[in-house]
Chain A
Amino acid sequence: MNFLCAFLFAGVACLLAQIILDNTKLTPGHVTSLFTILGAFFAFLGLYEKFIQFAGGGATSIISNFGYMLYKGAYLGFQENGIIGLFSELLCYSSCAIAGVVVFAFVLTLLCKPRD
């Protein structure tokens, strides 16, 4: 049941993105930015927690999760450390994704030859 929810949630999000891509002049960059902002917006409304409870990996594997983690870091940072926490804890949870992708990309770029 969990897997079905994950499939449906991630699938519907990708379906919406594909419909936006096909029917407007927006590029993939626009669409991913839009979904990141939507993730932060749903986190602000308190809905993204429920999405994750409902869909598990389906909700954490799409790019909206990035916006959610940024919002969560900033909001919880304010609760702990006040205004400076907004800035210092903003990247707290999403650091995993950014650091991971930068490290892997750099190491693999060193190892692999560029294609033509």
Chain B
Amino acid sequence: MEKSVRKYWPVFLLPTLIAFTIGFLWPFIWGIYLSFCKFNTVNKVKFVGISNYTRVFSDSTFVHAFWFTALFTLASTVLINVIAFLIAVLLTRGIKGTNIFRTIFFMPNLIGGIVLGYIWQILLDGLLSNWGLPLLALNEKAGFTGLLILMGWQQIGYMMIIYIAGLQNVSPDLIEAAEIDGATPWQILTKIKIPMVMPSVTICTFLTLTNSFKLFDQNLSLTGGEPAKKSQMLALNIYDTFYARSGGQWKGIGQAKAVVFFLLVVVIALIQLRATRTKEVQA
């Protein structure tokens, strides 16, 4: 069978391969090459070696964006996963209205990042002005907290769904056996439920980590990086370097930043997967 399928590769493989080359492979390789070049349009490209990379690390906005992103990613990953898991545990007790609650918690997930940002901008600016505090555009701390709330609002429902699926897969026999042995609800939670849902924890931390680290739309619409690029995250900083700064050298530096950003994402993903995978158990 393999042989006869193989002959049909132009039908099965080729369309995706061509699109994949146009949409990903070629831009990726070209992007790596351009990160070593000075260019303004793609017709005037001059090879400059690693000088773009040295400029990246001496750019204070990038360093600030890095720390802002790192802190945000850490805070949002912890916040989202703890709350989502808590809700999932409470919603698997069979309380009245579980389905409605689940529906509502998941809903914000379907609204796009740009729209979400503006919804929260209106709400948070309203709160800030009623409390007599500076608005989002002038308030770095509020920008950070606002992004955190927005991200939580959007992602908690999604992660909750995954945790609920994980919890429902824990065999009732196991819990019953523990109850007969006299385990308290707290012991059942920490000694059985949490170890048994570790695969879900792996997935959810992976998703929240990468989503938060790569956040762009919400950042653009909620704060736009204001005040003075102080609430810029890495993705927005790269975009800003490419399209908002004038001067011939910035596009090359932007591309170099993008390569650094890509490497950071890969490193984080690998570390995280290794760290949580080792904690998974078999029933």
Do these two chains interact?
Answer: no
- Chain A interface residues toward B at CB < 8 A: none
